[in-house]
Amino acid sequence: MSRYDEMFARLRTRGDGAFGGFLMLGDPDLETSLGLLDALVAGGADMIEVGIPFSDPIADGPVIQAAAVRALEAGVTPADCFELLAAFRARHPRIPVGLLTYANLVLARGREAFYRRCASAGIDSVLVADVPAAEAEPFAGAARDHGIAPVLIAAANTPDAVLERIASLCEGYVYCVSRAGVTGADRAMDSGHERLFQALAAAGAPPPVLGFGISRPEHVRTALDSGAAGVISGSAIVRLVEQAGDKAAAVRAFVAGLKAATAQKEVAREAARG
């Protein structure tokens, strides 16, 4: 059973949704970054999403772009990122870790070598932001060969035929984007994703997790109420890394706040306990 399957099964028995926290690796430097990954776990994140800094991140808004710039200016390389994740994995054997990256970083190392290194660093899934379903087969194939779950993106405007292709290629979870545009907390999520989640379920896709524009507990509740199995918050966390004094404490507290909103049946359980 994969770490994602274990996580979703465990959460399902409690009636909870999954909370995924995103960080840019090496932002603002490698040592701080490792502490921030621990802070995500301490705050209660169920799954960890990380980016490798890339020079030209076309799917990212200003906050995550700036994080990549900070990491690149600190001299952080993909090799450093893999070492960082291996160190994190040694401390946290069960939590699923997903990599969000861009195609050129995969090709530069070579697809096979890239996914092999992901596996040896203890990474569970890889999402390549600029590889849509139509181009995904060679990436997904190389991922599967190394026991890595290929994660694909689905959106409200994705046609049903493409959703079926996503369902057949995607493992772990489906990254559903909550609105058009790039990453960022400035524009909140759209609601009304029931149709997307239902279509994915009908096609036999792995659980849908909603991301983009999720920065408040009510966003989390709206997402879970509409049928998402979890949520991912990125820019809101990365902005804390940029601005907070005690970065780890700020990240931990923020994650705890959103994680609390994933406990859908908390009230009911408390009532039952009397």
Partner 1 sequence: MLMSGRFGAFGGTYVPEILMPALTELEAAFVEAQQDETFRTELDDLLAKYAGRPTPLTRCRNLGSDRARLYLKREDLLHGGAHKTNQVLAQALLAKRMGKTRLIAETGAGQHGVATALAGALFGLETRIYMGAVDVERQKLNVFRMRLMGAEVVPVESGSRTLKDAVNEALRDWTASFADTHYLLGTVAGPHPFPLMVREFQRVIGKEARAQILEEEGRLPDAVIACVGGGSNAMGAFADFIADESVRLIGVEPAGKGLDGREHGATLLRGRPGILHGAETYVLQDEDGQISESWSVSAGLDYPAVGPEHAYLKDSGRAEYLGVTDREALDAFALLARSEGIVCAFESAHALAHALKMIEAAHEETVLIVNLSGRGDKDMEQAQRLLGSLE
273 φ, ψ (degrees, to nearest 5): -70, -20
Binder among 6, 31, 56, 225 for partner 1 (CB under 8 A): 56
Q: In what order do the strands lie in the sheet with 149-150?
A: 149-150, 125-128, 97-101, 47-51, 18-24, 230-233, 208-211, 174-177, 153-155
Interaction of residue 143 with partner 1, rule CB under 8 A: no
SS3 110: coil
The contacts of residue 173 (CB under 8 Å, 6+ apart) are: 4, 8, 18, 125, 151, 206, 207, 208, 209, 229, 230
Name the active-site residue from 27, 46, 49, 171: 49
Q: Which stretch binds partner 1 (CB under 8 A): 5-13, 22-30, 59-67, 245-253?
A: 59-67
Rounded to whole angstroms, the Cα distance separating 140 from 128 reads: 10
Name the active-site residue from 16, 60, 80, 171: 60
SS3 24: strand
The contacts of residue 164 (CB under 8 Å, 6+ apart) are: 203
Q: Which stretch binds partner 1 (CB under 8 A): 3-11, 43-51, 154-162, 197-205?
A: 154-162
Binder among 6, 14, 31, 55 for partner 1 (CB under 8 A): 55
Of residues 156-215, those binding partner 1 (CB under 8 A): 157-159, 162, 166, 177, 180-182, 187
Rounded to whole angstroms, the Cα distance separating 65 from 55 reads: 8
The contacts of residue 88 (CB under 8 Å, 6+ apart) are: 34, 37, 38, 48, 97, 122
Binder among 7, 40, 100, 153 for partner 1 (CB under 8 A): 153
Q: Which stretch binds partner 1 (CB under 8 A): 26-34, 125-133, 202-210, 223-231?
A: 125-133
Q: Which stretch binds partner 1 (CB under 8 A): 12-20, 124-132, 228-236, 243-251?
A: 124-132
Block residue for tokens 């050129």: 104
Nearer to partner 1, 15 or 132 (CB): 132
Binder among 130, 137, 164, 190 for partner 1 (CB under 8 A): 130
Hey, which residues does 230 pair with through a beta bridge? 18, 209
The reply to whether 56 belongs to the active site is no
The reply to whether 60 belongs to the active site is yes
Binder among 41, 72, 253, 260 for partner 1 (CB under 8 A): 72
Of residues 94-123, those binding partner 1 (CB under 8 A): 102-109
Residues that bind partner 1 (CB under 8 A): 54-59, 61-62, 65, 69, 72, 77-79, 102-109, 129-135, 152-155, 157-159, 162, 166, 177, 180-182, 187
Which of the residues are catalytic?
Answer: 49, 60
